[in-house]
Structure 1
Amino acid sequence: MRILLTGASGFVGRQAVAYLSSAGVEVHAVSSHVPAHESGVTWHSADLLRDGVAEALVEKARPNIILHLAWCVEHGRFWTDSSNLGWVAATMRLASAAAEYGVGRFVGVGTCYEYDWPVDAPCDEYRTPVASHTLYDTSKDACRRVLEARFTGGETNFAWARLFFLYGPHEAPNRLVPSVVRNLIEGKAAPCSRGMAVRDFMDVRDAGAALASLALSKVEGPVNIGSGDGHSIAEVASKLGELSGRPELVRIGELPDRSGEPPFIVANVGRLRGEVGFRSTYSLEDGLSDTLHFWRMQTGGEAIQ
């Protein structure tokens, strides 16, 4: 089995590469930032936004499966980044190359922000409607719609993964979990809002493994990639304080609540568990504890016991 994985050196991609490689899959990993060395993985340095690059990669690798993770993901910018439109076009070129070269399976990666979130129920792939919120999620959903139409009736089967709220090693430092963790490690106050919003937090190692499992399965259509459990933002911040041994530094309610924050975004993981056959390995507490350890090591400190 040969898989072409784009966005392979990113926050999520590196975890999918590790899982696939350990499973004995021949991985052709695509990134604009290629690591120095990784045993068992063939790396390709490529800019998929350039014309002709996607076609050349597929022709060279001749994969059985494409797992397409690459997109614009710069924290705080990607919601409105005009390069979202470039990634729509790049995805269409990759999909056309997949069809041309007889790739059997194409798995695209979207976001839970595609949903019109219910106020008190999990997001369901087939029952929850979608809605446009930002350029980012609108572009993702447009990709899904076009890809579904492109592959219907052809030889390439298609799945669309919707990622929920991921945390873990190598996350952008200004996001929620690492921003709280870094303050705690440095002995600084970690101010938070009231944190009443409930989210589906998933360890990125589980997310990478879930994406790999989906790619290797025959499941088609949209599939939620989440834990299926809801935890408030305040609960996560408080747990980090508890695990670090500095709960007094977590200051719940010191920052204003974000205007228009959806109260509840949690995944229905029935398809992920029942059809893909994947269940999360890491509990929230274990994942947060490992994340604390990772950031402590990044700052040259001792592991938190």
Structure 2
Amino acid sequence: MRILLTGASGFIGRHALAALLAAGHEVHAVSRAHPSVEGDYAWHGVDLLAPGQAAAIAGSVKPECVLHLAWCVEHGRFWTDPANAAWREATLALAGSAADAGARRFVGTGTCYEYDWPANANCDERATPVAAHTPYDTSKDECRRALDALARESGLSFAWARLFFLYGADEAPGRLVASVARAIARGEPAACSSGLVVRDFMDVRDAGAALAALALSDVEGPVNVASGEALSIAELVTRLVALAGRPDLIRLGALPDRAGEPPRIVAEVARLRDEVKFRPALSLDAGLRDALAFWASAEAQK
């Protein structure tokens, strides 16, 4: 299958690229920077926000499937970034151009922040309502709705992957696992909030593989990409310092809890497991050990 993958050099994209290549598909990687993945694939340096570029790349590649990961993702900024609206429009332009060029499938990526999170249940794609919280998730949901309408009109097979909480090598240094791992590597106290909120964590390598599996499937509609396992922030950080052999460095409660933080965001993963036929390959401990090793190496090279 000829696949157009956007955001191919990003935190998630490089792992989706590796999974698609391992499955033996013809991949056209779209990114502003060259992906750091070995393999036989075509790279296209494209700015999808530039006028006409979405139509040009779709018309040039003529993909059978598009796996679209590109969006504004700068840590701490993406929630309110004005570029969210521009990415919504660029995504719609790409999908429309791909359909015109003969594509049969389009897979976009959303977020668990689209949900109106239930206090005592998992977020279910077919049962949990959505709610607007920030410009980021609002733009994502508007994009999903518009893509769904476009797909119905054009006969395009359409799926929407809702990503939960990812961690792994090369994530932004200020993110939770990276910040704690970096502190451990320096032998410094790891300051955290009380950590009472519960989340759903997944290694980014599994997330990339899950997205590739979804793109290659015929499953349509929203699909959660997550582990389906509930874990408090405190439990995650405690496990991280224990694996590093430095439980003395944990400082739960040293930072204030974020105001208005939802107490629980955990995925129902039946669609991913039973329809996409995907299960994570990495245990939490294995993923955290690799993250610790990556950040220890990064700190040692400074």
Summarize the alignment of residues 52-201 of structure 1 with structure 2, pairs less than 5 Å apart. 52-201=52-201
List structure 1 runs of 4+ shifted beyond 3 angstroms: 35-38
* Distance in structure 2 (CA, Å) of the matches to 1:199 and 1:136: 19
1:224 is paired with a residue of what secondary structure?
strand
* Distance in structure 2 (CA, Å) of the matches to 1:105 and 1:203: 26
- Counterpart residue number, 2:38: 38
- Counterpart residue number, 2:247: 247
* Distance in structure 2 (CA, Å) of the matches to 1:81 and 1:275: 34
Residue 102 of structure 1 contacts residue 155 of structure 1 at CA under 8 Å; is this kept in 2? no
For residue 299 of structure 1, report the CA deviation from its aligned partner. Answer: 2.5
* Distance in structure 1 (CA, Å) of the matches to 2:299 and 2:18: 24
* Distance in structure 2 (CA, Å) of the matches to 1:48 and 1:22: 26
Q: Any unmatched runs of 5+ in structure 1?
A: none
Q: How many residues align?
A: 301
Cα gap change, 1:36 to 1:161, in 2 (>3 Å): closer
For residue 36 of structure 1, report the CA deviation from its aligned partner. Answer: 6.8
* Distance in structure 2 (CA, Å) of the matches to 1:185 and 1:27: 37
Letter in 1 for 2:97: A
Give the stretch that moved more between structures: 269-278 or 147-156: 147-156
Residue 2 of structure 2 contacts residue 64 of structure 2 at CA under 8 Å; is this kept in 1? yes
Q: After superposition, give the CA deviation of every residue in 1:201-242 in whole Å (9 maximum; x if it has no partner).
A: 000000000000000000000000000001000111111110
1:261 is paired with a residue of what secondary structure?
coil
* Distance in structure 2 (CA, Å) of the matches to 1:99 and 1:9: 24
* Distance in structure 2 (CA, Å) of the matches to 1:143 and 1:52: 19
TM-score scaled by length of structure 1: 0.97
2:44 is paired with a residue of what secondary structure?
strand
How large is the Cα RMSD of the aligned pairs?
Answer: 1.1
Q: After superposition, give the CA deviation of every residue in 1:88-142 in whole Å (9 maximum; x if it has no partner).
A: 1101110110111110100000000000000010000010000000000000000
Residue 8 of structure 2 contacts residue 35 of structure 2 at CA under 8 Å; is this kept in 1? no
TM-score scaled by length of structure 2: 0.98
Letter in 2 for 1:61: V
For residue 81 of structure 1, report the CA deviation from its aligned partner. Answer: 0.4
* Distance in structure 2 (CA, Å) of the matches to 1:255 and 1:31: 37
- Counterpart residue number, 1:269: 269
Cα gap change, 1:35 to 1:273, in 2 (>3 Å): closer
How many percent of aligned residue pairs carry the same amino acid? 61
* Distance in structure 2 (CA, Å) of the matches to 1:160 and 1:38: 27
* Distance in structure 2 (CA, Å) of the matches to 1:19 and 1:37: 10
- Counterpart residue number, 1:47: 47
For residue 37 of structure 1, report the CA deviation from its aligned partner. Answer: 7.1
* Distance in structure 1 (CA, Å) of the matches to 2:35 and 2:176: 26
* Distance in structure 1 (CA, Å) of the matches to 2:197 and 2:42: 41
1:9 is paired with a residue of what secondary structure?
coil
* Distance in structure 1 (CA, Å) of the matches to 2:114 and 2:200: 15
Q: After superposition, give the CA deviation of every residue in 1:4-26 in whole Å (9 maximum; x if it has no partner).
A: 00000000000000111111111
- Counterpart residue number, 1:229: 229
Letter in 2 for 1:42: A
Residue 102 of structure 1 contacts residue 156 of structure 1 at CA under 8 Å; is this kept in 2? no
* Distance in structure 1 (CA, Å) of the matches to 2:293 and 2:255: 26
Q: After superposition, give the CA deviation of every residue in 1:14-56 in whole Å (9 maximum; x if it has no partner).
A: 0000111111111100001114773212111010001110111
For residue 266 of structure 1, report the CA deviation from its aligned partner. Answer: 0.4
Residue 202 of structure 1 contacts residue 226 of structure 1 at CA under 8 Å; is this kept in 2? yes
* Distance in structure 2 (CA, Å) of the matches to 1:256 and 1:151: 44
